Structure 1
Amino acid sequence: MRKLLILTFLCPFWIYNGFGQKLYSVDYENQADIKVFVVQYENQADLKVFKVDYENQASGNEGRWFFTKYPNQAKKKIFFVKYENQADLKIFFVNYQNQSGWRNRSKMHLLF
């Protein structure tokens, strides 16, 4: 009984960590789940993104993105728009993993 109680408590954390940010960049806007614009300055972004090299590094919803080779491997398909006002999400690419994260948490739902 005690083990069951502990598993019940820990299960939501396992589920949350299972939601990685595996993305595929599509060629056409109508194929995308989310439209993204890359801003020039960090303070303009909703999300600061770090591109990881391996799929298992993209756990959680904290801006660590892994770009898949095929659309069926991705959790979300994104399209990079040319103009800021066309975007659902504004991002800024950072150089280090510990710099990634949300600046505007109201848009977190876009990547769940």
Structure 2
Amino acid sequence: MKQLLLIIMLFLISVAAYAQKVYSVDYQNQADVKVFVVKYENQADLKVYKVKYENQAGDNNGKWFFTDYSNQAKKKIYFVDYENQADLKIYFVEYENQAGWSKMSKKQLMY
């Protein structure tokens, strides 16, 4: 029983550790999530803060680390040109404490 609990905990920790590592793909059909960057904060489903280092990436809280290679990322995203093409609307914030979900109904897209 303890081994099962340990395995489950390790799995959850590993998922959380990689939850917000993203890679921007070149083609829409390669993406897990299609993203549109809105002009105003109140239009966003998620407010995103781009972190500088991999170990700063959050656990689905809007702190994103952009990887250099697709196999390093948990989610592959594609930036669409029009809002109606997007699964998720984001707004890039200036400060880390501003990051987070505005619409919790979309949160499952980044798990």
TMscore range, shorter length: 0.7 to 0.9
Q: Which moved more, 1:52-61 or 1:94-103?
A: 52-61
Contact 2:18 2:73 in 1 (8 A): no
Q: Give deviations 1:37-75, integer Å, cap 9, x for gaps.
A: 000000000000000001110121100000000000000
Residue 51 (1) aligns with residue 50 (2):
yes
Offset, 1:80: 0.2
RMSD over aligned CA atoms reads 1.8
Q: From the superposition, tell whether residues 27 and 98 of structure 1 become closer, same or farther in structure 2 (CA, over 3 Å).
A: same
SS at match of 1:18: helix
Counterpart in 1 of 2:97?
Answer: 98
User: Identity, % of aligned pairs?
Assistant: 65
Q: Which has the larger radius of gyration?
A: 1
> TM-score, normalised on structure 1?
0.86
The letter of the residue matching 2:50 is: K
The letter of the residue matching 1:42 is: E
Q: Find runs of 4+ consecutive structure 1 residues off by over 6 angstroms.
A: none
